[in-house]
Amino acid sequence: MSRLPDLGAYLREQRENAQLSLRQLAEIAGISNPYLSQIERGLKKPSAEILQQIAKGLEVSAESLYVRAGILDERVLSHGDSAAAPDVLSAIAVDPDLTDRQRAVLVEIYQSFVGPKERRSGTAPQPSGKRKATQKEN
């Protein structure tokens, strides 16, 4: 597979293909013209929410922008590989209904349960046996 162009160059290419000026795309995406320019020049790294707005303006998939920005692993988008099913953190990163603050809180809560690093073993955690009895068990 050939190396993907960096995010800024890709955004500029897509914007030019859509025959949109920097100012037009910024207005459609609801972001400032200088901020979009900085993203295209690689000076700023946009959040997932901003990438989603830009994707809508360019009429491209937000997921493709997430991959180029390093937010989402390209393997997650591969449908043929069952081992590459989206993990919890990737699902949080690409959920269009979450704000950046909600994403941060969800990641923090998730990591408080499983630890700061994603589980690499792929196995479910085993119950400790110290769980409180639920009302149904009483």
pLDDT digits (tens, 9 = 90+) for 13-40: 999 999 999 999 999 999 999 999 999 9
Residues 71 and 93: their CA atoms lie apart, in Å, by 7
Domain count, the chain: 2
pLDDT band for 117, please (50, 70, 90 cuts): low
How many other β-carbons are positioned within 10 Å of the β-carbon of residue 9?
A: 14
| Structure confidence at residue 46 (pLDDT) | 92
Residues 11 and 56: their CA atoms lie apart, in Å, by 12
60: its two tokens: 């491209």
| Structure confidence at residue 98 (pLDDT) | 80
Give the residue from 74, 93, 122 where a domain finishes: 74
- Domain of 93 in residue numbering reads as 76-114
Residue 114 has pLDDT above 90, yes or no: no
Question: Do 16 and 57 lie in a common domain?
Answer: yes
> pLDDT higher for 88 or 48?
48
> pLDDT higher for 35 or 131?
35
In whole numbers, what is the pLDDT of the chain averaged over residues?
Answer: 75
Residue 129 has pLDDT above 50, yes or no: no
E-only strand ranges, 52-131: none
| Structure confidence at residue 118 (pLDDT) | 44
Question: Do 33 and 57 lie in a common domain?
Answer: yes
The CB-based long-range contact list for 84-91 (8 Å cut-off, 24+ gap) reads: 87/118, 89/118
Is residue 20 included in any domain, yes or no? Answer: yes
Contact 57, 29 (CB under 8 A): yes
Question: Do 13 and 64 lie in a common domain?
Answer: yes
